[in-house]
Amino acid sequence: MNSNPLSDALAMRATASAFDAHRGKLPVPGGPHRSPDSVAVARQISELGKMITDLGDEVLFRATDQDREVHTARVITSFAATVRPAGEAAAALGAVAHQLSFLDQTEHLRDQPDARDAREAAVRVMDDVLGTAEVALREAADSLHAASATVSPPSVRLQAARSRSTTAAPAPGPLPPAGALAAAAPQDRIARSR
């Protein structure tokens, strides 16, 4: 595998997109389409575990490369730093799986007051840890997207388009006084709106 700024940036963007996709698949307690399901949560934990392994492989591949390029240290740092939020998301989903298992085991006790309180607490825990997973996955994706831009800056065409779009529009002038706007409006329009 050849490591160059463009291929490294593309690898980081692809990984960031995968984290975004995982965030989109997070269960939503009480949601009609994405309510927490033990199998789906376990599958997502497994997929995140594979992504963590892939992050480690990306770091290892570049760390053992004898012909490192100047940008390689930034790529290694970015992939390595993403392991932490990916692990936090996987751990949060592990807590969701634990709470789902508890709810399943206590289903037959749901009408008893003590069990009802414990079951409600389990749902609150799931809400909290799913929020943690969402934040962690967003952090992982955002950091990789940002890092990819530093490794492989935008193309010359994109830079030119950006410079044209920011300088082509004239700067807005001062706003006229509020009374001047009302005076400038046609009188028949004002009368119709009343």
Q: What is the pLDDT of residues 43-65, one digit of tens each?
A: 999 999 999 999 999 999 999 98
Tokens of 143: 């950091």
Q: Which of 25-29, 80-84, 162-166 has the lowest mean pLDDT?
A: 162-166
Topology of the domain comprising 5-155: Four Helix Bundle (Hemerythrin (Met), subunit A) (1.20.120)
Which residue, chain included where needed, has tokens 């830079």? Answer: 159
pLDDT band at 31 (very low <50, low <70, confident <90, very high): low
Measured in residues, the chain has a length of 194
pLDDT band at 189 (very low <50, low <70, confident <90, very high): very low
Could you tell me which residue, 159 or 116, shows the higher pLDDT?
116
The per-residue DSSP string of 138-165 comes to HHHHHHHHHHHHHHSPPPHHHHHHHHHH
pTM: 0.74
Q: Map out the domains of the chain as residue ranges.
A: 5-155
Could you tell me which residue, 9 or 70, shows the higher pLDDT?
9
Mean per-residue pLDDT, 111-131: 91
